Amino acid sequence: MARGRIYKSEVQAARDKLVREGTNASLDAIRIALGNTGSKTTIHRLMKELEAEEAGAPAIAAEAISGALQALVTQLAGQLRQEAEATLLAGQARADAQVSAADAEVTRMTNQARAASEKIQRLQTTLDDIRQRLATVEQALRDRDTVIVGLRERTAGLERQLVEREAHLASTDAKHQQARDALDHFRLASKEQRAIEARQHEQAVQALQVELRRATESVANKNDELLALNRDNARLTEQAGQHVKDLRAVQRALQAAQEQAAEAEGLRQINQSLEEKVVQATASMETLRHEQTAALSQWKAERDTLSEALRDAKAQGDRWGTIESMLSSLRPPADVSVEPAQST
pLDDT in tens, 93-116: 887 888 888 888 888 888 888 888
Q: Which span out of 70-84, 190-204, 284-298, 314-328 was modeled with the highest average pLDDT? A: 190-204
Domain ranges of the chain: 145-330
pLDDT in tens, 31-75: 888 888 888 888 889 888 888 887 765 444 444 455 566 667 667
pLDDT, position 225: 66
Q: How many CA atoms lie within 13 A of 290 on its CB side?
A: 6
Orientation of helix 67-228 relative to helix 233-330, angle to 10°: 170
The SS3 call for residue 248 is helix
> pTM of the full predicted structure?
0.26
Which residue in 324, 342, 340 sits closest to 120, CA to CA?
A: 340
Q: Which residue has the higher pLDDT, 273 or 278?
A: 273
pLDDT in tens, 234-246: 666 776 677 778 7
pLDDT, position 60: 44
Alpha helix ranges (H) inside the chain: 8-20, 27-33, 40-56, 61-64, 67-228, 233-330
pLDDT, position 3: 52
For residue 299, give Cα distances in angstroms to 156, 286, 340. Answer: 10, 20, 65
pLDDT for 258 beyond 60: yes
**What average pLDDT score do residues 106-133 get?**
87
**What average pLDDT score do residues 220-224 get?**
68
pLDDT, position 296: 74
pLDDT, position 227: 73
Say if residues 125 and 133 touch (Cβ distance below 8 Å): no
pLDDT in tens, 182-207: 878 888 887 888 888 778 877 877 87
Distance separating alpha carbons of residues 229 and 175, to the nearest angstrom: 75
pLDDT for 139 beyond 50: yes
